Amino acid sequence: MGSTVMRLTIRSGGQCLALLALLAAGLAKADSQPKPVPIPVSYADLADLADHAPLVIRAQPRKIVQVEPERARGLRAGWGRFYVEAKTEALIAGTAPLGGALIYLVDLPLDAKGKPVPFKKKSVILFARPVPSRPGELQLVAPDAQLLWDPALEGRTKALLGELYAQGAPQRITGVREAIHVSGELAGEGETQIFLTAANGEPAAITVTRKPGSEPRWGASFSELVASDLAPRRETLGWYRLACFLPPQLPAAANISERQRDRAMTAQDYAFVIGQLGTCPRTRK
User: What integer pLDDT is reported at residue 226 of this predicted model?
Assistant: 54
Is 147 strand, coil or helix?
strand
- Beta-bridge partner residues of 127: 56
User: What integer pLDDT is reported at residue 284 of this predicted model?
Assistant: 84
User: What integer pLDDT is reported at residue 11 of this predicted model?
Assistant: 41
pTM, entire model: 0.83
User: What integer pLDDT is reported at residue 167 of this predicted model?
Assistant: 92
CA neighbours closer than 13 Å in the CB half-sphere of residue 45: 15
User: What integer pLDDT is reported at residue 144 of this predicted model?
Assistant: 96
Length of the chain counted residue by residue: 285
Is 122 strand, coil or helix?
coil
CA–CA separation, 66 and 74 (whole Å) = 15
User: What integer pLDDT is reported at residue 39 of this predicted model?
Assistant: 61
User: What integer pLDDT is reported at residue 224 of this predicted model?
Assistant: 72
User: What integer pLDDT is reported at residue 38 of this predicted model?
Assistant: 53
User: What integer pLDDT is reported at residue 228 of this predicted model?
Assistant: 67
Q: For the chain, which domains are there? A: 43-165 (2.40.50.120), 173-277 (no CATH)
Is 228 strand, coil or helix?
coil
User: What integer pLDDT is reported at residue 17 of this predicted model?
Assistant: 43
Residues of the chain with pLDDT under 50: 1-37
